[in-house]
Amino acid sequence: MLRRVIIKEEFVAITGDYKLAIVLNQLLEYAQQYASFVHVEYEEENGQNIPLIVNTGGWFNVTSEEVARQTLMNISSKTMREYIKALVKKGWVEERDNPSHKWNRTKQYRVNHDQVRKSLLHVGYDSTVLTIEG
């Protein structure tokens, strides 16, 4: 399957950097993909797997290696972490450790849709470019 990278003008306008715009767009895509699936975990009870629907609150797991691969940027995971940290610093993305599995070092992210909308409006763009509700 061919991968494509999208550079959105409005994200370049708010980030000031096309690379950050690419990463922000990719994280928004992950958020949208994750929101379209019901997250189910299973608990074993009396030898049966009981499905539990888990409310993730918009958080999703992704490694910096995966983001780098999906964005076709040909950069190290360390460099991608720096890009993601820049988005976190600006308030467009939130980051946390996995609260359920302390041993899992993969960061969890959540796009702050309200902050992205405010930034878009501030520079004169329509905030309806965000395709999912945050």
CATH code assigned at 90? 1.10.10.10
Residue 39 lies in a domain: yes
Total of domains in the chain: 1
Phi, psi of 72 (to 5 degrees): 55, 30
Provide the pLDDT for residue 132. 45
Q: 């890009």: which residue's tokens?
A: 83
Provide the pLDDT for residue 110. 93
Structural domain boundaries enclosing 64: 9-129
Task: Label the pairing between strands 60-61 and 108-111.
Answer: antiparallel
Rounded mean pLDDT of 111-132? 86
| Prediction pTM value | 0.81
